[in-house]
Amino acid sequence: MDTITLKDVAHAVGVSVMTVSNVVNGRLDRVSPATAARVERAVADLGYVPSAAARTLVARRSRLVGLLLPGRPDGVSLLGSPHDVAVTGALEATLRGRDHHLMLRGVGDARDVRDSVRRWGLDGVVLMGFTDAALAGLDLSPTLATVLVDADGGVVRADGGPAHARVRSDDRAGGRLAGAHLAGLGHRGLVLCGPVDGASRVVAERLAGFRAAAADAGLAADAVRVAHARTTYDEGVALGGRLAADVRAGDVTAAFATADVLAAGVARGLADAGLRVPEDVSVLGYDDAELARQVTPRLSTVAQDTAGKGRLAAELLLGLVTGEDPAPRSATVPVALVARESTAPAPR
């Protein structure tokens, strides 16, 4: 079947090619409403599909958005957690609904970012998975339409305002919910499990909220300890095995992990060590990923709207790219405690 061209549409309607181009590219102020309607009917009837390359030249925009994540070794997926998968899925769907396209890229330094933007003509970028310190090393341009997910960044505009939009969940409130839930169940030996090396603002906020809730419940400062682990199932299994001795000694009665995938691993490691969840020790996760409902026992967790993060990131970025909302804004998604089977009253 021959490809339908602008000339074919113009011939069918009896107008110029320029008139058809104006309608197809959204320049409706140059065409009467009646003519625009006739062109749109012909486009639909003939099955005309605009060339992406041609539209890029006309609009000087590629309609291509980059999702930039920390680079990983060859063969290792950039989307390393259920959280990242959920955010990415919602981001892509929202962009697609607005006739934009998503490109996934791993970057390690400022040169990688510049190369990605220039080589692919990206209209804007969303960055996810970076600490604030890592973002500083990327040297993001204040003029590049950018949305940061779960990070602050330090770039400012000439007027002193933030140069980039931001999307996050209320991590401190999430930590408070976790602490209040476990303290309310009578737990007095709490441990937060996650990447507690000080680099992640997200983890630091959740820990601060967790400690604040413990203090509100009258627990001593040393009732909350931390246990470092990267956010993977295998790290959780290993950590659960190490925590078993503290559980048997009565020093730990509940563990709060900063992601469901880590919590699932901790529960598995504790079970492998002969302990029962939640009879001997409670385990609480974060995110409310599908995994939380698939493991046994089903995970209690702090739910955050990961799909909402992706949608908001897309909407904020498109506002910057199109000029509909040119001032970078911040948005926060809510959190909520979801109690399931992995948490119970502290053992007596």
Q: Looking at the domain assignment, is residue 21 inside a domain? A: yes
Question: 80 and 191, same structural domain?
Answer: no
**Packed helices 306-322 and 82-97: angle between N→C axes, nearest 10 degrees:** 40
Question: 299 and 209, same structural domain?
Answer: yes
Residue-range definition of the domain harbouring residue 53:
6-59
Provide the token pair at 76: 């290792």
Provide the token pair at 177: 């919910």
Q: Looking at the domain assignment, is residue 338 inside a domain? A: no
**Which three-class secondary structure string do you get for 49-115?**
CCCHHHHHHHHCCCCEEEEEEECCCCCCCCCCCHHHHHHHHHHHHHHHHCCCEEEEEEECCHHHHHH
Question: 180 and 300, same structural domain?
Answer: yes
Which pLDDT does position 54 carry in this prediction? 52
Question: 45 and 102, same structural domain?
Answer: no
Kind of pairing between the strands at 282-287 and 254-257: parallel
| The overall pTM is greater than 0.85 | no
Question: 226 and 177, same structural domain?
Answer: yes
**Neighbouring C-alpha atoms within 13 Å toward the C-beta of 104:** 13
Residue 91 and residue 311 in contact, taking contact as beta carbons nearer than 8 Å: yes
Question: 291 and 178, same structural domain?
Answer: yes
Q: How far is CA 69 from CA 80, 266, 291, in A?
A: 10, 26, 22
At residue 266, the 3 state secondary structure works out as helix
Cβ contacts of 228 within 8 Å, gap of 6 or more: 194, 195, 196, 197
Phi and psi angles of residue 35, each rounded to the nearest 5 degrees, phi first: -65, -40
**What are 46-83's pLDDT values in tens digits?**
877 665 545 544 445 578 899 999 888 777 788 878 89
Q: Looking at the domain assignment, is residue 346 inside a domain? A: no
Provide the token pair at 285: 């996760």
Question: 328 and 203, same structural domain?
Answer: no
CATH number of the domain residue 78 falls in: 3.40.50.2300
Question: 284 and 193, same structural domain?
Answer: yes
Number of folded domains that form the chain: 3
pLDDT per residue, tens digit, the chain (348 aa), is 467 787 888 888 899 888 888 887 767 778 888 888 898 888 888 877 665 545 544 445 578 899 999 888 777 788 878 899 999 999 999 999 988 899 998 888 888 888 888 888 888 999 998 888 888 888 888 888 899 999 876 655 555 556 789 999 999 999 999 999 999 999 999 999 999 987 788 999 999 999 999 999 999 988 999 999 999 999 999 999 999 999 999 999 999 999 999 999 999 999 999 999 999 999 999 999 999 999 999 999 999 999 999 999 999 999 988 888 777 788 999 999 999 999 999 998
Residue 333 and residue 305 in contact, taking contact as beta carbons nearer than 8 Å: yes
Kind of pairing between the strands at 300-304 and 335-338: antiparallel
Question: 261 and 188, same structural domain?
Answer: yes
Q: Looking at the domain assignment, is residue 1 inside a domain? A: no
Q: Looking at the domain assignment, is residue 130 inside a domain? A: yes
Phi and psi angles of residue 22, each rounded to the nearest 5 degrees, phi first: -60, -40
Name residue 225's beta-bridge partners.
191
Question: 280 and 328, same structural domain?
Answer: no
Question: 51 and 90, same structural domain?
Answer: no
Q: Looking at the domain assignment, is residue 342 inside a domain? A: no
At which of 34, 59, 84 does a domain end? 59
Question: 197 and 296, same structural domain?
Answer: yes
Q: Looking at the domain assignment, is residue 79 inside a domain? A: yes
CATH number of the domain residue 52 falls in: 1.10.260.40
Cβ contacts of 284 within 8 Å, gap of 6 or more: 178, 181, 182, 254, 255, 256, 257, 263, 299, 300, 301, 302, 342, 343
At which of 59, 77, 94 does a domain end? 59
